């Protein structure tokens, strides 16, 4: 591997920059999504228990103290608990649309880098092959394969590194997309459950009056 890296000369720098930026983006997004990932069933059960006891402000405080998009949506639902079901749903949809760009931030950048890495490798391959042919032409005499083999090695090495980085970036991209899909599912499920719960609570309150 050291020989492969040394054979690509200064092409190591664009690959190194791509790799470092990709690692930073991946770690930042993975930590952010992990921080916002909670168990919606347990969280919703706790909110419902507080609401059944009439402690709505404590439930809102719990939402404020809990990180993540699910808790922020639950807070919106509790603030508008006295409104109609359609109004609460509209507010949840509107705020969910505001949450999505924050959740998707930098994830698509990993896919772009996965597409860019093999392009850099292809450029490097063409560069080293042209460099080899230029040097062969400058010799103006018969030459052995050993004169051209270093350029072939460099061309293949830079292509290989480009494909390796592409694989790593796509792996990171699909991992984060999976975490994002799970988080969006939790948001949708929690929103539906809290709206149904608030609607039933409102109906019971109206019937008791």
CA–CA dist 156, 164 (Å, integer): 12
The confidence score (pLDDT) of residue 5 equals 54
Q: What tens digit of pLDDT does each residue of 102-137 get?
A: 888 889 999 999 999 999 889 888 888 887 777 766
Q: Is the pLDDT of residue 2 over 60?
A: no
- Tell me the average pLDDT of the chain: 84
| Residue whose token pair is 């999505």 | 100
Structure tokens at 199: 């609607």
Most confident of the ranges 39-48, 62-71, 166-175: 166-175
Between CA 176 and CA 29 the distance in angstroms is 7
Per the CB < 8 A criterion, the answer to whether 176 and 26 are in contact is: yes
- Whether 110 contacts 22, CB under 8 Å: yes
Name, in order, each residue with C-beta under 8 angstroms of 161's C-beta and a sequence gap of 6 or more. Answer: 4, 5, 8, 15, 121
Q: What is the pLDDT of residue 138?
A: 61
pLDDT at 170: 96
Higher pLDDT, residue 159 or 147: 159
Both tokens assigned to 43: 């969280």
Please check the confidence at residue 4 and state whether its pLDDT lies above 70: no
Per-residue pLDDT band at 141 (split at 50, 70, 90): low
Evaluate whether 95 touches 72 at the Cβ level (below 8 Å). Answer: yes
3-state DSSP helix/strand/coil percent for the chain, to nearest 5? 90, 0, 10
What residues contact residue 152 under an 8 Å CB cut-off, 6+ apart? Answer: 128, 129, 132
């Amino acid at each position: 591997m050291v020989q492969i890296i040394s054979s690509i000369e200064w092409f190591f720098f664009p690959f190194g920059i791509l790799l470092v930026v990709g690692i930073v983006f991946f770690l930042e997004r993975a930590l952010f999504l992990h921080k916002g990932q909670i168990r919606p069933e347990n969280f919703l059960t706790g909110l419902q228990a507080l609401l059944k006891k009439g402690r709505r402000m404590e439930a809102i405080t719990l939402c404020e103290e809990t990180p993540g998009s699910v808790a922020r949506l639950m807070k919106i639902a509790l603030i508008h608990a006295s409104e109609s079901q359609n109004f609460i749903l509209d507010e949840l949809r509107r705020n969910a649309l505001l949450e999505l760009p924050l959740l998707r931030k930098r994830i698509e950048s990993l896919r772009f880098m996965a597409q860019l890495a093999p392009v850099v490798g292809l450029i490097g391959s063409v560069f080293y092959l042209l460099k080899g042919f230029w040097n062969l032409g400058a010799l103006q005499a018969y030459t052995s394969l050993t004169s051209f083999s270093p350029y072939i090695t460099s061309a293949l090495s830079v292509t290989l590194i480009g494909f390796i980085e592409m694989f790593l970036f796509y792996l990171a991209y699909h991992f984060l997309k999976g975490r994002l899909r799970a988080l969006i599912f939790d948001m949708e499920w929690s929103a539906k459950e809290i709206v149904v719960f608030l609607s039933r609570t409102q109906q019971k309150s109206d019937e008791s009056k």
